[in-house]
Every structure is written in C-alpha cells, then in structure tokens.
C-alpha cells in the first residue's frame, strides 16, 4: 500500500491562522481525519480540499461547527445523488437505442 502524503497540522494551522483546537474539534465532529505519528499531528493530503472548504465556510460565512457539519453532509448527499443520476442516465441510454 503506497504511503499517503501527510502535511504537518502545526504548519497548516500557522499558515491559515487557526488554532489547533479548531482542528481537533473538526476531528471530533468527524469532519476531518488527523494522523498522529511520533506525537506529531498530520493532515492526510486527501483531507486538504475538505478542510479548506470547511475553513472557507467558517471564515466567509461565519458558520459554526454544527452548521458546517450539516452543510458538508448535505453537499456529500448532493454529490452522491449527482453520481446516481449520471449512472441512471447512462443506463437509460442503453434502452434508448432500441
């Protein structure tokens, strides 16, 4: 299994001007994953897009953690529905040719 790229949580917090406690709260809400290695916290690279979207919701729209959790859940459901619609449209095309 290939190694996943990890970003230092401390460096991320410093560059985005946020407290690590906010990251810990996001993890407790189940919105992001943090990896701890040798007592140092890291953010998996695949979590960066999600984390930056959460920070924009918080900063730009001043949404609290509960609101962000609800918004991210709804966005995830919309994405799943869009994938399902595409799958069903492709399946329907098979029958349209007859």
DSSP symbols for 76-88:
HHHHHHHHHHHHH
44: tokens are: 């998996």
CATH numbers and ranges of domains, the chain: 6-96 (1.10.1660.10)
pLDDT tens digits for range 20-31: 999 999 999 899
> For a pLDDT cut of 90, what percent of the chain falls above it?
79
CA neighbor of 22 nearest in space, from 97, 14, 74: 14
pLDDT tens digits for range 43-91: 999 999 999 999 999 989 999 999 999 999 999 999 999 999 999 999 9
Residue 10 has pLDDT above 60, yes or no: yes
Tokens 């619609």 belong to 85
Residue spans of beta strands (DSSP E) within 1-98: 6-8, 35-37, 40-44
CA neighbor of 34 nearest in space, from 12, 9, 52: 9
pLDDT at 98: 64
């Amino acid at each position: 299994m290939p190694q996943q790229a990890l970003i230092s949580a401390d460096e991320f917090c410093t560059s985005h001007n946020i407290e690590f406690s906010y990251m810990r709260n996001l993890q407790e809400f189940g919105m992001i994953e943090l990896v701890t290695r040798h007592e140092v916290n890291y953010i998996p690279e695949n979590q960066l897009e999600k984390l930056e979207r959460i920070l924009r919701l918080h900063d730009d729209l001043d949404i609290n953690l509960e609101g962000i959790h609800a918004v991210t859940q709804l966005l995830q459901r919309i994405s799943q529905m869009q994938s399902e619609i595409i799958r069903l449209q492709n399946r329907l095309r098979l029958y349209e040719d007859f």
